[in-house]
Structure 1
Amino acid sequence: MLGAFVRARREGMAPQGPSRRRRTPGLRREELAQSAGIGTTWIAWIEQGRDIRPAAETLSRLARALCLSAGERDYLFALAGRGDPERAPAGPGSDAPAALAVAAGALQWPAYVLDPAWSVCAPNAAARALFVGLFDPSSSPPNLLRYVFTHPAARTLLPDWGVRAQRVLAEFRRDYGRAMGDPRVAATVDWLLAHSDAFRESWHGQDVQAHDGGPRAFLHPERGLLHFTQHTLTGAERDDFRLVFLQPLEQPLQ
């Protein structure tokens, strides 16, 4: 698929310089290779679907030479199974993608957005009321991992704290594999390794888990035992941000 995409974009480009009749459309491989500053053989191998893995920098040069749009560039890197080195890192907690922030604010259920470092962005009023201690003024920005592993209130709020902490860390590790180049992500891990024995012991266990959602229980100091189903959605604007919301359950799951 990568080769077919590159070839289609190459053939869709207009040749530079004086126009002249050609038997084949678009740029020749040699012309694209010269514009991208990479070898013609690499262009041929990519288009032929050879079992190669172009480096991220090679793909960046190719994307620029093909004049790809932002969406096309994302697609190119996804097909190649590479992270885009020029992709802007996640912003601080207030910079949640607009669509996810609006969705969180529109929900009456507890809802918030997680950035790649699991800092909590755009929490709605219900989330602020549920997560006791998470939004203390000393937390800037509030971070779900730091909260679960180091805030005393978390061990009370989460009646199954040991299981939940392991799940949270396993889900974060999946995201960590995609965003380890983000300095905020590295800083979060380094801080927790230095400040939480539980995190440090679990981190070296290398457990990985997808964002499965499902039943969640909270023992709120004022409202008592609460049961929810957790749902997680990925944003179209930035797939490294996630909208998390908790659907209340009238009856707890047995």
Structure 2
Amino acid sequence: MQSEDQRKSLGAFVRARRESMTPEGHDRRRRTPGLRREELAARAAIGTTWIAWIEQGRDVRPSAETLARLAGGLSLSAAERDYLFSLAGRHDPIDLSARAGASAPSAIAALVGQMDWPCYALDPAWSICAANGAARRLFIGLFEYSEAPNLLRYVFAHPAARQLLPDWSGRAARLLAEFRRDYGHGMADPRVTNLVLGLQDESPEFRAAWNAQTVLAREGGERVFQHPDDGRLHFTQHTLSDVERGDFRVVFLEPG
């Protein structure tokens, strides 16, 4: 639910963006800066009253679709759009992550490439969009068939994962509980929903764990692997988020 401060901040932001826009025709006789409310309403295909109420910080709840049209009418950048929806307490119906493609953002790819420890990046569907050589060696079989394999599909459907993870059942259940927390933010992404539907058919263990509705934060801690060539390996896992794109994750494993 929106707080009074959020409503006031949202109203001030919308008004400031409206007044910063250049009206069509550049009418120099105008005394008011930027667009008038009725001009923005026409651009956004929403009512003038809605714009007035939002700018006044009234206790109204415009729908996500109304906010999306308002964002388009204001020509907001991705960061401004995210700010608008966060102040309004709504989920953006347009999936910006899917529109950006499957490749890792440049800052994330650069960070992964510079790490000596095993390091990889996850996109919103938890497909691995960047991985260094140490990660490719550690996760035996993960990159066998695809350059962008999915971490959940690997753990639940690849036989090598059961050998690599000594406590497979516990690790798999925790991984899925951590994924569910992100799933709540990525349900508009067809890659995310298709992954869940597919794994429910592929893996009885996935289906049972998914139906358990367990949710956990993605936390670090000790991780043990039984590698076929390197033997038993101990790491401390660290996860970074909000690295250029908040819907991506960077995971690295510090040798123990």
TM-score (norm 2): 0.87
Q: Which residue number in structure 1 is paired with residue 186 of structure 2? A: 179
Q: Which has the higher mean CA deviation after the structures are superposed, 44-53 or 213-222? A: 44-53
Distance in 1 (CA, whole Å) between partners of 2:30 and 2:114 is 57
Higher mean alpha-carbon deviation, 156-165 vs 194-203, is at 156-165
Change (3 A) 1:239 1:84: farther
2:230 is matched with which residue?
A: 223
Question: What SS does the corresponding residue of 2:232 show, helix, strand or coil?
Answer: strand
Gaps of 5+ in 1: 250-254
SS in 2 for 1:153: helix
1:202 aligns with 2:202: no
Conserved in 2, the CA contact under 8 Å of 1:116 and 1:175? yes
Instruction: Tell me by how many angstroms 1:247 deviates.
Output: 0.9
Instruction: State the secondary structure of the residue aligned to 1:100.
Output: helix
- Partner deviation per Cα, 1:124-183 (whole Å, 9 max, x = no partner): 11001111121122x463111011112222122112222211111011111111111212
Secondary structure of 1:102's counterpart equals: helix
1:113 aligns with 2:121: yes
Question: Is structure 2 residue 140 aligned with structure 1 residue 132?
Answer: yes
SS across alignment from 1:239 = strand
Where 1:35 maps in the other structure, the secondary structure is helix
Residue 224 of structure 1, CA deviation:
2.1
- Other-structure match for 1:144: 151
Q: Matches of 1:203 and 1:86 in 2, distance apart?
A: 23
Question: Is contact 1:113-1:121 (8 Å) kept?
Answer: yes
In the alignment, residue 50 of structure 1 is paired with which amino acid? R
Deviates more, 1:69-78 or 1:4-13: 69-78
In structure 1, the residue matched to 2:43 is: 35
Structure 1 residue 3 corresponds to structure 2 residue 11: yes
C-alpha contact 2:108 2:243 (8 A) present in aligned 1: no
Residue by residue, what CA displacement relative to the aligned partner does 1:181-225 show, whole Å, maximum 9, x if unpaired?
212112211111001111001101111122222221112122222
Aligned match for 2:160, one of 150, 153, 170: 153
1:64-108 Cα shifts (integer Å, max 9, x gaps): 22222232222222322322415250633xx11111111111101
What is the RMSD of the two structures over their aligned residues, measured on CA atoms?
2.0
2:36 equivalent to 1:47: no
Q: 1:74 maps to which residue?
A: 82
Give the gaps of 5 or more residues in structure 2.
1-8
Provide the rounded CA distance (Å) in 2 between the counterparts of 1:132 and 1:88.
28
The residue type equivalent to 1:91 in the other structure is G
Say whether 1:248 aligns with 2:229: no
For the 8 Å contact 2:93–2:188, the answer to whether it is kept is no
Structure-2 separation of matches of 1:209 and 1:83: 23
* Matched AA of 1:153: A
Residue among 13, 28, 47 paired with 1:19: 28
Q: Assess if the C-alpha contact under 8 Å between 1:56 and 1:85 holds in 2.
A: no
Structure 2 CA distance, aligned partners of 1:221 and 1:52? 60
Residues 154 and 238 of structure 1: CA distance in aligned 2, closer, same or farther (over 3 Å): same
Which residue of the partner structure matches residue 252 of structure 1? none
Instruction: Report the alpha carbon displacement of residue 57 of structure 1 after superposing the two structures with TM.
Output: 2.5
Aligned match of 1:169: 176
AA at the equivalent of 1:201? A
Show CA shifts across 1:111-131 (max 9, x none). Answer: 111111111122111001111
Aligned residue for 1:108, secondary structure, equals: coil
- Which residue of structure 2 lines up, in the alignment, with residue 85 of structure 1? 94
Per the alignment, in what secondary structure is the counterpart of residue 125 of structure 2? coil
Instruction: Give the count of matched residue pairs.
Output: 245
Q: Report the Cα offset of residue 39 of structure 1.
A: 0.7
